[in-house]
Structure formats: structure tokens, C-alpha cells
């Protein structure tokens, strides 16, 4: 693999071209998430002690920010960018946060001609003002998580209202179902961005 004759950028371009051809102009959903792999030592570029999501703890490893497409129950890989910890940056490299890498991915997907309507992401991106701003600028719908202690500024005199809990089926990839509940939280009055609370 280390001495293969092919160029990674050429293979990547070919893969993207084939995905675009297969989509045939269909709109889809984009999911942004980071993933990590545990690594021993530091011979691999950008390996450091950092939070590895799939392990749920800090370990020595490498992390990337990824974009996946979701269409008709099928998930397919789009783009990824390696997260480069400050302490492992090479000369002339600039540090970028994970939300900044996600912004680059969104812009690159648009430039490549992908037609996606909605972006899904967890609270790391949902609480990034710059990330949300880019989604709004490109008129993209989004469903993002926020932490339970997230605050919303309201004018004086406004109050918080909660709608009734509604039951729904959470359908998993293996088609198993689990009953969950959701309700809307309204800060004063409904605005462009709406807030929902879910539990199970």
C-alpha cells in the first residue's frame, strides 16, 4: 500500500464522480460526524492523545471529520478531513477546529455539485455559530443537537412554553423499533430555528 502506483487524489476524484453519476441529480441528507481510531506510538501523522468518539474516552489515536450521504435508507461516504491537533502540526500548517473542517466539507460538497437538502450533526457542530451561519447562508435545512445547558436569549417579558409530549417510533438500521417521545420548546414565539426535546 505504501508504494502503490496510484495517486490518492485521482482515486478520490474518480470515486466522487461515480457517486454523482449514481445519484442522477437526486437530493439527499448529509450527516457530519467525527470518528477516531486508536493508534500506538506517534509515527503516523496527527496521532495524539485525544477524545476518540467510538471508544468514549481519551486515548492515543487519530481523528477525522466525515460527511456521509443518506438516501433511501442507504448511507454512503462522501468526504473526510483529518483533524490535526495543535501539538502535531507540521511547519506552515494552520490549526483548524472540527467545526471549521466541517465548514470546509460543506462548501466543498456544494462546489462539487452535490444536491443535499438537510444537514445532520451533533452538538459539537450544533453549537458552532460559524457552522450554523454557513448552513443558513447556503439555505440548507439542518437538524443539530445542542447540550441541555444551551441558553437562548429572549426579550424581556417573553416566557418559555413546552408543548405536549408526542410518541414516535425510533427506527434503527436493522428495522427494529423503539418508542420515544418528543416535544417542542418555544422561547417566546416560534422563530426560524425551532427547538425540540426528546427522551426515551
Closest CA to 12 of 75, 62, 79: 79
CA–CA gap between residue 160 and residue 153 (Å, rounded): 11
Contacts of 36 (CB under 8 A, 6+ apart): 50, 51, 52, 53, 54, 55, 59, 61, 62, 63, 64
Q: Show the domains of the chain with their CATH numbers.
A: 8-147 (3.90.350.10), 151-200 (no CATH)
Residuewise pLDDT in 10s, the chain (200 residues): 667 787 888 899 999 999 999 999 999 999 999 999 999 888 889 999 998 888 888 999 999 999 999 999 899 999 999 999 999 999 999 999 999 999 999 999 999 999 999 999 999 999 999 999 999 999 999 999 998 888 888 888 899 999 999 999 988 878 899 999 999 999 988 888 899 998 87
pLDDT at 56: 84
pLDDT at 8: 82
pLDDT at 84: 95
Amino acid at each position: 500500500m505504501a508504494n502503490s502506483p496510484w495517486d490518492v487524489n485521482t482515486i478520490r476524484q474518480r470515486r466522487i464522480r461515480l457517486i454523482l453519476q449514481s445519484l442522477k441529480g437526486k437530493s439527499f441528507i448529509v450527516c457530519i460526524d467525527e470518528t477516531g481510531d486508536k493508534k500506538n506510538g506517534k509515527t503516523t501523522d496527527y496521532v495524539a492523545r485525544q477524545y476518540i468518539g467510538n471508544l468514549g474516552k481519551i486515548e492515543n489515536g487519530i481523528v477525522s471529520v466525515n460527511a456521509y450521504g443518506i438516501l433511501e435508507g442507504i448511507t454512503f461516504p462522501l468526504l473526510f478531513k483529518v483533524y490535526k491537533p495543535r501539538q502535531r502540526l507540521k511547519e506552515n500548517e494552520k490549526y483548524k477546529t472540527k467545526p471549521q473542517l466541517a465548514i470546509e466539507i460543506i462548501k466543498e460538497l456544494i462546489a462539487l455539485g452535490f444536491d443535499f437538502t438537510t444537514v445532520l450533526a451533533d452538538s459539537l457542530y450544533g453549537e458552532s455559530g460559524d457552522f450554523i451561519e454557513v448552513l443558513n447562508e447556503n439555505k440548507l435545512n439542518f437538524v443539530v443537537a445542542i447540550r441541555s445547558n444551551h441558553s437562548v436569549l429572549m426579550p424581556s417579558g417573553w416566557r418559555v412554553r413546552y408543548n405536549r409530549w408526542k410518541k414516535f417510533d425510533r427506527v434503527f438500521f436493522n428495522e427494529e423499533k423503539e418508542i420515544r417521545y418528543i416535544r417542542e420548546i418555544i422561547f417566546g414565539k416560534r422563530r426560524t430555528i425551532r427547538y425540540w426535546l426528546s427522551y426515551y
